[in-house]
Structure 1
Amino acid sequence: MELQVTTLDGASAGSVTLSDAVFGLEPRIDILHRMVRYQQLKAMSGTHDVKNRSEIALTKKKFGKQKGGGVARHGARSAPQFRGGGRAFGPTPRSHAIDLPKKVRALALRHALSAKAQAGELIVVETVAQSEPKTAALRLQFGKLEWLNALIIDGAEVDKNFALAARNIPQIDVLPVQGINVVDILRRNKLVLTKAALEALEARFA
């Protein structure tokens, strides 16, 4: 698959041939769904917590007679049925993460890249390096290129000036190639790869 390379000024910078093993797969929704669920569950903090009856600071003294009192035989005010008592079966801190084989995770990333390529939402840019961090100028360039909702992937290190200029632009995400992931790819309308990022991805899946 051949794709035109552009610059941030909108000029043509030649073309590249995309690897079919990375960008030419038939996207499978089930694999993408498994990966999205894996990432979202892994990102959950799991810090929700309530106090059960053993953690409530109320008396544990039996407050009524066992027989003849006309009331149930309660032994502690911290029981869940009393106001101020412990919570029955409440949440406790835990990890929500699930397991997903490494090969499935790698396959999901290739399917996400292929989905963008198939939909015509994949863009290859020569470089995103900027001489100075000017948000207004970069926003104008994005407007001309129609990058209104995009994930931009640079090489091993994102150009510092570009990262500073892009961080306040709404619906624009910038990541180094090591941080590329399925959720961020799918949540943005366009996927923009620099040539350095493209080379790194094809080398990774070679």
Structure 2
Amino acid sequence: MKLEVKNLDNGAAGDIELSDAVFGLPPRVDILHRVVTWQLEKRRATARKARERSEVKRTGKKLGNQKGGGTARHGNRAAPQFIGGGKAHGPRVRDFDPGLNKKIRRLGLATALSVKAAEGKLVVVENFDLAEAKTKSLLATLGGLGITSGLFIDGDAVNANFGLASANLHKIDVLPAIGANVYDILNHDTLVLTRAAVASLEARVNG
């Protein structure tokens, strides 16, 4: 698959040959669903538990007489209604650490890239080099490219000026190639890659 490469000023900068094994796969909704679900579950922290009535160390002595005291008939200080008592129906430990093999993760990444390419939402630029870290200038540049919601993926490291200029822009996110993931790719309208990012992603999927 051949795609035109642009500069940030929307000028032509040659062509690039994209691997069909990475950018030309058929859409697989089932694979995308599995990978996105795995990603979102991995974000969740382990739920902490609360001590329930049987786990609280309190006296088991009866508080008073069964009758004649003018109060309720309590028999245990560990009851939930007392300060220091056990939690009624408290949270239990839940560890959200699902597994997903590397083959499915690589297939999911390649499928997400292929979906963007098939939709015409994939843009390849020469690099993200900016003369200065100015958000106003970057907004004008993105306007020229027609991008209002985009994920920008660079090579091994994100260009410093580009990262600073885009830090406060809504729906504009920047990642190095190692951080590319299915959820963020699908969560943005446009995917913008540098030449270095294309090479890194192809090596990552084929590796």
- Fold agreement, TM-score > 0.5: yes
Matched, 1:168 2:165: no
Q: Letter of the aligned partner of 2:184 in structure 1? A: D
Report what 1:63 is aligned to: 63
Write the deviation string for residues 14-72 of structure 1: whole angstroms up to 9, x where unpaired. 1112111001111111111111110111101234443422565865432255xx64999
Rounded to whole Å, the distance in 2 between the matches of 1:203 and 1:174 is: 20
Report what 2:126 is aligned to: 126
Instruction: Report the CA distance between 1:130 and its aligned residue.
Output: 1.2
Rounded to whole Å, the distance in 2 between the matches of 1:126 and 1:137 is: 18
Q: Structure 2: any 5+ residue segments left out of the alignment?
A: none
Q: Letter of the aligned partner of 2:87 in structure 1? A: R
Q: TM-score, normalised by structure 1?
A: 0.88
Report what 1:116 is aligned to: 116
Instruction: Report the CA distance between 1:77 and its aligned residue.
Output: 2.9
Q: Letter of the aligned partner of 1:111 in structure 2? A: T
Report what 1:196 is aligned to: 196
1:85-104 matches, within 5 Å, as: 85-104=85-104
Report what 1:79 is aligned to: 79
Q: Secondary structure at the match of 1:205?
A: helix
Matched, 1:8 2:8: yes
Q: Structure 1: any 5+ residue segments left out of the alignment?
A: none
Report what 1:107 is aligned to: 107
Rounded to whole Å, the distance in 2 between the matches of 1:131 and 1:58 is: 68
Q: Letter of the aligned partner of 1:139 in structure 2? A: L
Q: Secondary structure at the match of 2:14?
A: strand
Moved more, 43-52 or 151-160: 43-52
* Percent identity of equivalent pairs: 49
Rounded to whole Å, the distance in 2 between the matches of 1:183 and 1:53 is: 42
Number of aligned pairs? 203
Matched-pair contact (CA < 8 Å) for 2:25–2:114: yes
Q: Secondary structure at the match of 2:87?
A: coil
Rounded to whole Å, the distance in 2 between the matches of 1:78 and 1:172 is: 53
Q: TM-score, normalised by structure 2?
A: 0.88
Write the deviation string for residues 91-118 of structure 1: whole angstroms up to 9, x where unpaired. 2444212111111111111111111111
Rounded to whole Å, the distance in 1 between the matches of 2:60 and 2:8 is: 71
What is the Cα-based RMSD across aligned positions, in Å? 2.4
Rounded to whole Å, the distance in 1 between the matches of 2:49 and 2:142 is: 44
Report what 2:154 is aligned to: 154
Write the deviation string for residues 139-180 of structure 1: whole angstroms up to 9, x where unpaired. 111112111100000000111111111111111000000000
Matched-pair contact (CA < 8 Å) for 2:109–2:205: no
